[in-house]
């Protein structure tokens, strides 16, 4: 199991939540690895339980998310509305206390979820701050690439130049 999910599930245990509905696009991306959702829209939600991680999204994204490793994809539609899909999934997973991101839940989402399970308000942003060794390596590689680009470009930059001047 990946370290991110282990940390999240341990955190959920300490808060006595039997699952969490992740609603913020940045957290959805963090836990699924899928970056195709808009950061301004509500296009995907993640439900994490002690045993599963599910991505709930519309048919529009079905093809793009079906192949995410270790993540089940649940599709909502006019035939299977989000509310019904979430209700059934919570029931099947025996989730009775559901963590929600307090800084990213709309009023209508809150009203819907509170009918389905006991709500446990949570902040999970701090969990993204802990980096795995693999993440540290990737960050270091990105820094190395940026440093190299700056070293190669800096000698050709003069005070008062615009980006357009530099390109010429």
Beta carbons within 8 Å of 55's beta carbon, 6+ residues apart: 28, 32, 34, 44, 45, 46, 65, 68, 71, 72, 73, 74
Residue found under tokens 């950061």: 39
Alpha helices in 15-93 (DSSP H): 25-32, 62-65, 82-92
What pLDDT band is residue 163 in, cutting at 50, 70 and 90? confident
Alpha helices in the chain (DSSP H): 3-14, 25-32, 62-65, 82-92, 107-114, 133-153, 163-167
What pLDDT band is residue 168 in, cutting at 50, 70 and 90? low
**pLDDT for position 144:** 94
**pLDDT for position 124:** 93
Radius of gyration of the chain from its Cα atoms, rounded to whole angstroms: 20
If one compares 75 and 129, the residue with the highest pLDDT of the two is 75
Question: How far lies 115's CA from each of 17, 86, 96, 108, in Å?
Answer: 16, 11, 11, 11
What pLDDT band is residue 1 in, cutting at 50, 70 and 90? very low
Q: Tell me: the pLDDT tens digits for 60-74?
A: 999 999 889 999 999
């Amino acid at each position: 199991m990946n370290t991110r999910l282990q940390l999240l599930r341990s955190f959920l245990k300490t808060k006595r939540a039997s699952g969490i509905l992740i609603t913020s696009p940045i957290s959805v991306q963090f836990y699924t690895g899928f970056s195709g959702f808009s950061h301004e829209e509500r296009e995907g939600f993640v439900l994490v339980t002690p045993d599963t991680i599910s991505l709930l999204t519309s048919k529009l994204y079905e093809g793009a998310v079906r192949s995410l490793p270790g993540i089940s994809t649940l599709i909502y539609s006019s035939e299977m509305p989000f509310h019904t899909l979430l209700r059934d999934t919570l029931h099947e997973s025996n989730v009775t206390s559901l963590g929600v991101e307090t800084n990213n839940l709309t009023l209508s989402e809150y009203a819907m979820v509170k009918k389905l399970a006991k709500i446990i308000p949570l902040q999970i942003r701090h969990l993204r701050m802990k980096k795995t060794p693999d993440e540290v390596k990737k960050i270091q590689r990105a820094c190395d690439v940026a440093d190299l680009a700056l070293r190669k470009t800096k000698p050709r930059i003069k005070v008062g130049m615009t980006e357009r001047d530099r390109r010429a």
